[in-house]
Copies of this chain bind each other. A is one copy, B any other.
């Protein structure tokens, strides 16, 4: 099985390829080749039981998508995107990569012809929803994005459903929760603090909490995100029908509950490294974000996430910290 991963150098892409390397099979089929495309080279794997090639390209340029699908990969995982903040700051770039890039990928697949009909897994986002919304957003709630990024993801979902309905490929779009705990250094994303207040204290570092403790949000671990990709890539599609965009499961909790979970898992000395420094700007941004979902369809189709925030913290300690942390 040949797998093409677009955005293969990103955090989720890298973890997905690492999991493939560990499992060696996907859906019972041996993985023989992985192509990791991105705008920067993907870090080489320590070891993999299959060929891995890193392709550096810009999906939105003419011919690039065609070159990638010419080898007829059986599975295409499309993670490549300009992130929310950058798509808002650079209108042209966001539309070029997130809309044109996605459409050119879908068109390239369609044009291969000769019965080629790969599985396509597209990562969408809860950013397809825009306030005001219900406290728990249902599967049938409408998508009214309030960012260009969310607009581009919603359009990607529509295209994926139509190309699937027309028989050009077999698509599944998965709307990821906020990924928590995100590994790496703190970044300037407005959502960064949800991870920072867990990751940094566990590293013995101070973390800033810019919002009040009652802020509620929707989380899943990087391990769950990879699990969603694997399930979307291998699930039986007989039951899914024409509605191919699915809100993934996650765990909804307040910042207070996040901190309490950290206390239970790592103790008061770790929690003390969180410093409250209210930032009205971040508070305002976060107020417009979804807080909770009722993702019945995804659950019925077998997608699974963590069922407590303690579990999300333990996954981070296992997967990123070799089971230990700074007490």
Contact = CB atoms under 8 A, between A and B. Distances in A.
A148 B130 contact: no
A142 B162 CA distance: 15
A172 to B, nearest CB: 14
A244 B130 CA distance: 13
A120 to B, nearest CB: 16
A228 B145 CA distance: 25
Interface in A215-244: 242-243
A242 B158 CA distance: 20
A143 B145 CA distance: 13
Contacts of A165: 146
A161 B145 CA distance: 9
Interface centre among A139, A146, A155, A243 (most CB of B within 10 A): A155
B140 A141 contact: yes
A9 interface: no
A91 B107 CA distance: 11
B130 A144 contact: no
Interface in A151-170: 151, 154-155, 158-159, 161-162, 165-166
Given A130-B242, A139-B142, A146-B165, 15 more contacts: A91-B166, A140-B141, A142-B142, A142-B143, A143-B143, A143-B158, A144-B242, A145-B161, A145-B162, A148-B162, A151-B158, A151-B159, A151-B161, A151-B162, A155-B159
Contacts of A148: 162, 166
Interface residues of A, number: 22
A162 B162 CA distance: 21
Given A154-B158, A155-B155, A144 B91 contact: no
Interface centre among A130, A142, A165 (most CB of B within 10 A): A142
A140 B141 CA distance: 6
A127 to B, nearest CB: 12
Contacts of A243: 130, 144
Given A91-B166, A154-B158, A155-B155, A242 B146 contact: yes
A86 B139 CA distance: 31
Contacts of A155: 155, 158-159
Interface centre among A144, A145, A162, A242 (most CB of B within 10 A): A162
A139 B155 CA distance: 19
Contact of A145 (B91, B144, B151, B158): B158
A76 to B, nearest CB: 20
Contacts of A158: 143, 145, 151, 154-155, 158
A102 to B, nearest CB: 12
A283 to B, nearest CB: 20
A146 B154 CA distance: 16
Nearest to A162: B151
A295 to B, nearest CB: 13
A164 B162 CA distance: 25
A125 B280 CA distance: 40
Contacts of A139: 142
Contacts of A151: 158-159, 161-162
